[in-house]
Amino acid sequence: MIKKNSSILVVDTDQEGARALALSLKECGHSVLTARDGIHALSILEFRAFDALIVDVASTGKESLTLIGWAGTICPRPRIVAMADPRVEEAERETLEKGANLFLKKPVDFDRLIKFLEPSPARSSFTGTVEGVDIIEYLQFVILGGRKTILEITSSIGTAGRLYLTNGTVMHAECGVLQGEQALYRCLCFKDGTFSHLPWTEPERISVGKPGDFLLMEAMRKRDEAWGYGDEDEGG
């Protein structure tokens, strides 16, 4: 849980940029330390815990992925923010897969960063890994919880889609060139794969407007129909 006055480690080879960011964070009441690279950050984290870790993945390269992956395993686990130049391809996907909680393109949206560092409401919170989950049943669980999140679903052959969920509804869905209900049903008909939750961002448009119960029932019908024909398009 991030406290009001969070302890933050900023990792960036651009020390001038790191100092500028640290100064802005300090002006917001946070305690900030900077590290010159991933190796320096690891040596600091071995002896000191932080509430949050902000890593420039463009400047630190592969070191940053190692750092993010390792930081995600320590206890207490810091909340991890990755930032990179928009021209760095695959940076967002790689860092989120390694365990980053938020990815920000440079120049960093400082207001969004500060909002991310705000305290979360006091409630029970667990992180874990499970296997053999029925994706439609899991989606029903998320819808009932009313959580605002982006659920990314990736099939075993690499096809990926995103569902934008808020207040018990699916606002938007996208999968390749598909959007709306077509994209939703495409994702829910994957035979196997993985899913993860991404930090919330508003979708470019609202493409789904039907009740959650209807969408789930229709997804079940379409999946039973597709699997009954032995469609192996998204098989594992």
pLDDT by residue (tens digit) across 48-104?
A: 889 999 999 876 668 888 898 888 777 678 899 999 887 766 788 888 888 888 999
Q: Give me the DSSP letters along 38-95.
A: HHHHHHHHTT---SEEEEEHHHHTHHHHHHHHHHTTSSSPPEEEEEE-TTSTTHHHHH
The confidence score (pLDDT) of residue 231 equals 46
Instruction: Using a cut of 0.75, tell me whether the model's pTM lies above it.
Output: no
Whether the predicted pLDDT of 217 surpasses 90:
yes
The confidence score (pLDDT) of residue 232 equals 45
The band of 201, judged by pLDDT with boundaries at 50, 70 and 90, is confident
150: left (phi over 0), alpha (psi -120 to 50) or beta: beta
Is residue 110 within 8 Å of 83, Cβ to Cβ? no
The confidence score (pLDDT) of residue 124 equals 56
d(CA 47, CA 69): 18
The band of 123, judged by pLDDT with boundaries at 50, 70 and 90, is low
